[in-house]
Amino acid sequence: MPTLSGMTRVPGRDWRNPSTWHLRTRLVLVAMALLVAICGAVGLFSYASMDLFLTRQLDDQLSNASHRAIEFGRPGPGNSGGRRDPLEARGQGVGMLNARLEDGAVSSAGFLAGDATLKSLSRDDNAVLLALTPNGVPVDRTLSAGAYRLTAARAPYGDVIVTGLPLAEKESTLASLVWTMVVVSAGGLVLIGLAGTALIRRTMKPLEQLSEVATKVSRLPLDAGEVALGVRVPASAAHRGTEVGSVGYALNKMLDNVSNALEARQESEMKVRQFVADASHELRTPLTAIRGYTELMRMTEHFTPDGERSLARVQSQSVRMTTLVEDLLLLARLDEGQPLKISDVDLTQLAIETVSDEKVMAPDRIWQLELPEEPVVVRGDAAQLHQVLANLLSNARKHTDPGTKVATGVMRSADGSAVVTVTDNGSGIAPEFVGRVFARFARADAARTNPAATPAARPAVNPAVATAGARSGAAARSASGGASSAASRAASGASGRPAGGSRGLGTATAAPTSEGTSGLGLSIVQSIVEAHGGTVEVTSRPGRTEFAVRLPAAPPSA
């Protein structure tokens, strides 16, 4: 419903509370209230002044009429010693009232009607006249003929002469004045209200521009990436000559400062990303050399059992470091926005493959598939989408106890997008950690809760397995993750790589028996999903944790 200021009601706003109203609405209402008060005061003053003026005028007429009545009723030779009725005098106006009181009784009384005939007063009217004080002071009384202004004066010949004039003309004049003031005031209020609304709207326009600029800035993603703060308050609303202009000027200066800070932050981020990418790339060569020489030594040299375990430990840690380096390199590439290798990807088939890999790595979990009858196809990078599912399943495997049920679902939502869910009935994620599971290097205090975080607690590598893996020529790769722990259930370091599965960078091979979390797995999931224009969410409570990936569906084939 429109208001006086042209604004519409906002759902949920309490219009009974003035503090929630728009400033423009409040200004208009305050101005209108002041105008109403002024009009009311002027009206009351005008009414009182007019009433006083008319009363004085009527009193003058009444005084003259009273003197004429007294003189006309004086006994004289012309009236045979009697007293004449003042109403018989010439020039009496319509409604004129006269009465003669003798010895406490009404001897004669009446008033001139509209047809110039003499009308008598009632008994009640006579009682009113007898109650008057003969001091010549006018008073208002109501008679059967209407309201009258009466005065009683004692004549020199001893009688009391009562003279009265009707108040109808005065009351009619005052009523006309009231209606005139009401109509003029109402019309003036409407015109002034409309003009004031337009003026206030125009005056408040710069504030609306400031609000629009602030709203646009509030919607910009300022947390990461390159941000261009090109929006500014127009120069017409950002001059320092007025209060509103000063606010606009200050806002522009603040935006300039924020823009410079964002540019500095962006430059710093780019340097860090470049450093991480360069360092990761440079570390791959020495790590590969360490792994190669370790494998060569195990194939050509003979060690004691302790030496064999130590060498296996060196190899497993070099594999873990290689995994971390490649994760960092992948994140750096995703941050740079490198183009994806786009093709049609069947998420249904992808889910079957990744779940099959996890069954081999963790047969002590209950792995379930919930697939539609028709394939769910999206456009994306097959290797990276494979890593998304692998990381989510690896995260579920590494942070749940044996016997946990892990269900992978693929479906098509009502809006046509593809949805992939990974749900388990484990212990759940700590509520205070849910909001940052996708942060990089986020691990729910794994150093205190994850046995795999301390070297002393990590199981030794089986030399026979390590030697067999080395002799087979497979590059030993471990999936970053940790032992079962409810406290570190949400560790986003699950950079899972199923045996024999493709992750887009390198190949996955037999892993050592100990796993450690890097805190990058779920960060990689989020970065890959966002690079595909999708979203990933997590909901968790004791007994149910679900990661849901939503991706745009592939367009239908021509």
- Digit-coded pLDDT (tens) for 443-497: 654 433 344 433 333 333 333 333 333 333 333 333 333 323 333 333 333 334 3
Q: What is the DSSP letter of 356?
A: H
In a domain? residue 471:
yes
Residue corresponding to tokens 């003669």: 100
Kindly write down the DSSP assignment for every residue of 475-497, as one continuous string. -----B-----STTTT-TT-B--
pLDDT at 457: 36
pLDDT tens profile 89-125:
666 788 889 888 888 888 888 888 877 788 888 999 9
The span from the CA of 285 to the CA of 293, in Å, is: 12
Contact indicator for 417, 550 with CB cutoff of 8 Å:
yes
Identify the three-state secondary structure at position 164.
strand
The span from the CA of 352 to the CA of 357, in Å, is: 9
How many Cβ atoms sit within 10 Å of the Cβ of residue 516?
24
Give the Cα-Cα-Cα angle 403, 404, 405 (nearest 5 degrees). Answer: 115
What tokens does 472 get? 């087979």
What tokens does 128 get? 């009113």
Contact indicator for 200, 6 with CB cutoff of 8 Å:
no
Contact indicator for 498, 448 with CB cutoff of 8 Å:
no
Distance separating the N- and C-terminal Cα atoms of the chain: 49
The span from the CA of 418 to the CA of 315, in Å, is: 40
Q: Which residues pair with 495 in a beta bridge?
A: 480
Residue corresponding to tokens 């001893």: 158
Residue corresponding to tokens 């006249």: 129
Residues 6+ apart with CB under 8 A from 462: 312, 513
The span from the CA of 367 to the CA of 355, in Å, is: 7
pLDDT at 521: 85
In a domain? residue 229:
no
- Is residue 4 very low, low, confident or very high in pLDDT (cuts 50, 70, 90)? very low
Nearest alpha carbon to residue 88 among 64, 103, 68, 60? 68
In a domain? residue 468:
yes
The span from the CA of 75 to the CA of 173, in Å, is: 39
In a domain? residue 133:
no
What tokens does 145 get? 């003929």
- Is residue 15 very low, low, confident or very high in pLDDT (cuts 50, 70, 90)? low
Contact indicator for 405, 365 with CB cutoff of 8 Å:
yes
Strands 105-112 and 366-370: unpaired
pLDDT beyond 60 at 384: yes
pLDDT tens profile 33-64:
999 999 999 999 999 999 999 999 999 999 98
pLDDT beyond 90 at 389: yes
Segment of 57-66, 280-289, 307-316, 516-525 carrying the highest mean pLDDT: 57-66
Number of Cα atoms under 13 Å in the Cβ half of residue 188: 13
Contact indicator for 488, 526 with CB cutoff of 8 Å:
no
The answer to which of 9-23, 256-270, 366-380, 454-468 has the lowest mean pLDDT is 454-468
In a domain? residue 258:
no
Contact indicator for 429, 545 with CB cutoff of 8 Å:
yes
Strands 366-370 and 405-412: parallel
118 against 12, higher pLDDT: 118
pLDDT at 93: 80
417 against 465, higher pLDDT: 417
DSSP H/E element including 392: helix 382-398
Query: What CATH code is carried by the domain that includes residue 446?
Result: 3.30.565.10
How many Cβ atoms sit within 10 Å of the Cβ of residue 445?
14
In a domain? residue 199:
no
The answer to which of 124-133, 248-257, 325-334, 387-396 has the lowest mean pLDDT is 325-334
Average pLDDT for 314-319:
85
Q: Where are the beta strands (DSSP E) in 336-454?
A: 342-346, 366-370, 377-381, 405-412, 418-424
User: Average model confidence (pLDDT) for the chain?
Assistant: 78
pLDDT beyond 60 at 133: yes
In a domain? residue 345:
yes
Segment of 15-29, 288-302, 353-367 carrying the highest mean pLDDT: 353-367
In a domain? residue 211:
no
Identify the three-state secondary structure at position 265.
helix
Average pLDDT for 193-199:
88
- Is residue 517 very low, low, confident or very high in pLDDT (cuts 50, 70, 90)? low
pLDDT beyond 90 at 547: yes
DSSP H/E element including 427: none
The span from the CA of 348 to the CA of 370, in Å, is: 9
pTM confidence score? 0.48
pLDDT at 443: 67
- b/e map 257-282, b = 16+ CB within 10 Å: eebeebeeeeeeeeeebeebbeebee
Residue corresponding to tokens 């779920």: 522
The span from the CA of 506 to the CA of 509, in Å, is: 10
pLDDT at 294: 85
3 against 555, higher pLDDT: 555
pLDDT tens profile 247-272:
888 888 888 888 888 888 778 777 77
507 against 412, higher pLDDT: 412
Rg (CA), the chain: 50
The span from the CA of 444 to the CA of 425, in Å, is: 19
Contact indicator for 88, 79 with CB cutoff of 8 Å:
no
pLDDT beyond 90 at 424: yes
How many Cβ atoms sit within 10 Å of the Cβ of residue 530?
13
381 against 468, higher pLDDT: 381
pLDDT beyond 80 at 193: yes
pLDDT at 37: 93
Q: What is the DSSP letter of 459?
A: P
Q: Which domain holds residue 364?
A: 339-551
Where residue 170 falls (left for φ over 0; alpha for ψ -120 to 50; beta otherwise) is alpha
Contact indicator for 81, 75 with CB cutoff of 8 Å:
yes
Number of domains in the chain: 1
pLDDT at 528: 92
Average pLDDT for 1-19:
54
Average pLDDT for 368-395:
92
The span from the CA of 272 to the CA of 360, in Å, is: 38
Residue corresponding to tokens 């992978």: 408
Residue corresponding to tokens 């690079």: 531
Average pLDDT for 268-289:
77
